[in-house]
Structure 1
Amino acid sequence: MKIVAVLYPEGETDGGGPPVLATAENVLGLRPFLEEQGHEIVGTSDTGAELDAQLADADVLITTPFWPLYLDEERIEKAPELRLVITAGIGSDHIDEEVAERHGITVAEVTGSNVVSVAEHNVMQILALVRNMIPAHRQAVEGRWDVADAAREAHDLEEKTVGIVGLGAIGARTALRLKGFDVRMLYHANHRRDPAEEATLGVKYARLDDLVAESDVICLALPLMEGSRALFGRERLAAMKPGSWLVNTARGAIVDTDALAEALESGHLAGYAGDTWYPQPAPSDHPWRTMPRHAMTIHYSGMTVEAQQRIAAGVKEILQAYLAGRALPEDYVLVDASAA
């Protein structure tokens, strides 16, 4: 059986630190396990013609939302032997699941693998914005020392209203971590939590428009799906409180690219942070790279060393079941072609 893994390029390194499991070279540490059983695994970072050549006779594809392969009908038709696609992480919006199902392809992802990692990143980026950390850090690098300039837009998080849009595993874990900051927390989600869960998380349900109007900080923690693409467009960004902050580690396409840049340039928003872009990898001229008042990172929030270990273990668990002809772990399956 042939497995193709589309993962990060090795990147620049000084040889220090633990190995990065999610690279095309290290293929999540799966090579010994697969080759001992007589299977072939090919690691690549290419998403063009080289990949299409590898997919022509591939049985399994492993991809990741952090270095996404956009798997549409045109690409799936070039892979007639493909029967399983595994997302090494959480969030499979780069895969057209409807087309996959129609072609008899099962889609799975490693549910829960980077929940902690992304929730911690959310809190870090909220604090970076509210405390005006990026301009203060830039002063340190540039040899400046202008406390008044850095302090002018630095605030305490305590007693602010934080709105969380989406209260799944990541949103809930983010709320738990913010609870200790003595903030007022609102949330909006398609499925409302029961009162006991709301009390544990320290959150109160609100309609989306009310959450947007009342929040000093908004954190997006919902999947990219029908109804959430450009959910924060020009009109909704304008409805946010003047001087508020927006954090998005969910998916870049949930926020309108140009409208966001305009809201920051005008000063209506005090800042934007996140690590998700559209498309990914973001081109060098992406407007979010140069817009003012931002604290963006590349998409790495869910790829801590610990998250990579959990992802690798989950992908291996999926492969072990698939190669043995057993049902895949139910909580990992997004599209079950075997049930069709």
Structure 2
Amino acid sequence: MAKVLCVLYDDPVDGYPSGYARDDLPVIDRYPDGQTAPTPKGTDFTPGQLLGSVSGELGLRSFLESRGHTLVVTSDKDRPGSVFERELVDTDVVISQPFWPAYLTAERMATARNLRLAVTAGIGSDHVDLDAAIAHGVTVAEVTFSNSISVAEHVVMMTLSLVRNYLPSHRWVLDGGWNIADCAQRSYDLEGMHVGTVAAGRIGLAVLRRLAPFDVTLHYTDRKRLPEPVERELGLVFHESGAAMVPHCDVVTINAPLHPQTEGMFDDALIGRMKRGAYLINTARARIADRDAVERALRSGQLAGYAGDVWFPQPAPADHPWRTMPHHGMTPHISGTTLSAQARYAAGTREILEDWLDGSPIRDEYLIVAGGGLAGTGAASYSTRG
């Protein structure tokens, strides 16, 4: 029998909800590229419920315990001697979310003598040391595409929030004011601007499609160029590198995975190549941008705004400079954990577990590491230190 250790974020401060704002969710059977949504043999949750917090348990408890497996759920993951570290030593499967990542470092993996599977409930498995997973024979899987559109919508929201100066304007209302000039002094139209994405995979391409109706010029850079019909349909301008693209853009959005080639990419030098007063949106991973370089650029005016929901570490400490830097629109890491997305990534997590426990192949698009190397989506999206 397997021991499954699930690390999830805390319940709401007022307790696990007894009701919800909406009664149902739209049914998404297939993603824009034709990939089918998760297809587990069964589920034990109601779509639209809060599944990603501790009490939600990703809807897994009855399924696992009915088969005789053990499920341990905790939010305690970072402090020395945390529940995560104590339970990890004899765990077979670790499940974590990008929003509250259980960092599976090489050191932790070396202590986990039974670990065979690490599952990301969502997308983005950089909290797992992929080189160590390869060395230890650990399979890494994630629920690819389950929350990609959720993140793309968040990017569009943050872009408009920064360009239109929405958050400071809303603050005037909350504070009882009616200071139109204060609101308008940093507010612009998105129409006519040049917007570029670093990476045009599932999320990046979805962002481009959603921004096209705003009558902007769209730019992108990616390791693999998009098909010519897609470029023509959206009027895309391709650039060989981020350094070549950013001088042309009023808004740059980062939609790339974190790996050795993207870590620290947006440093003082690259931000310095951007147009003065450009906006930078990062819902990918915090370490793609240099923390202090972003703050310096906002204070100097090189950047007009920075928004995102990714931090390092997560959760971010109270004194993290991104909490207090000017002209930002930061949120906790929430872009991919809407109640809509949770229904899909909870179902996908169960699908992965069903296959692994039954000895059946895991979907190729879910695989990041398998068979001693990068596999499936991982082979196309990640690189290793080796």
Sort the TM-score into its range (normalised by shorter chain). over 0.9
Question: Taking structure 2 as the reference length, what is the TM-score of the superposition?
Answer: 0.86
Unaligned regions of 5+ residues in structure 2, if any? Answer: 21-47, 375-386
Q: From 219, 224, 227, give the equivalent of 2:258.
A: 224
Other structure's SS at 2:214 match: coil
Distance apart, 1:136 and its partner CA: 0.3
Are residue 148 (structure 1) and residue 181 (structure 2) matched? yes
Q: Deviations over 1:169-191 (max 9, x none)?
A: 00000101001101000101111
Contact persistence 2:10–2:54 (CA under 8 A): yes
Distance apart, 1:199 and its partner CA: 2.1
Q: Deviations over 1:83-119 (max 9, x none)?
A: 1110111000110111112111111000001011000
Q: Deviations over 1:19-45 (max 9, x none)?
A: 310122221001111111111111011
Distance 1:294 1:328 in 2: 40
Over aligned residues, Cα RMSD in angstroms?
A: 1.4
Q: From 38, 41, 47, give the equivalent of 2:68.
A: 38
Task: Count matched residues.
Answer: 340
Are residue 59 (structure 1) and residue 79 (structure 2) matched? no
**Aligned residue for 1:278?**
312
Contact persistence 1:93–1:224 (CA under 8 A): yes
Other structure's SS at 2:280 match: strand
**Aligned residue for 1:331?**
365
Contact persistence 1:170–1:221 (CA under 8 A): yes
Are residue 213 (structure 1) and residue 247 (structure 2) matched? yes
Sequence identity (%): 46
Contact persistence 1:175–1:202 (CA under 8 A): no
**Aligned residue for 1:308?**
342
Q: From 156, 162, 177, give the equivalent of 1:129.
A: 162
**Aligned residue for 2:14?**
13
Distance 1:114 1:298 in 2: 16
- 17-26 or 314-323: which moved more? 17-26
**Aligned residue for 1:22?**
52
- 201-210 or 56-65: which moved more? 201-210
Distance apart, 1:82 and its partner CA: 0.7
Other structure's SS at 1:180 match: helix
Distance apart, 1:250 and its partner CA: 0.5
Q: Deviations over 1:133-189 (max 9, x none)?
A: 111011111111110111111111111000111000000001010011010001011
List aligned pairs for 1:82-101, cutoff 5 A.
Answer: 82-101=115-134
**Aligned residue for 2:38?**
none
Distance 2:220 2:128 in 1: 28
Distance 2:67 2:150 in 1: 33
Runs of 4+, deviation exceeding 6 Å? none
Are residue 260 (structure 1) and residue 298 (structure 2) matched? no
- 220-229 or 9-18: which moved more? 9-18
Unaligned regions of 5+ residues in structure 1, if any? Answer: none
Distance 1:201 1:322 in 2: 40
Q: Deviations over 1:235-280 (max 9, x none)?
A: 1111111111110001111111111101101112110001001111
- 31-40 or 121-130: which moved more? 31-40
Contact persistence 1:130–1:155 (CA under 8 A): yes
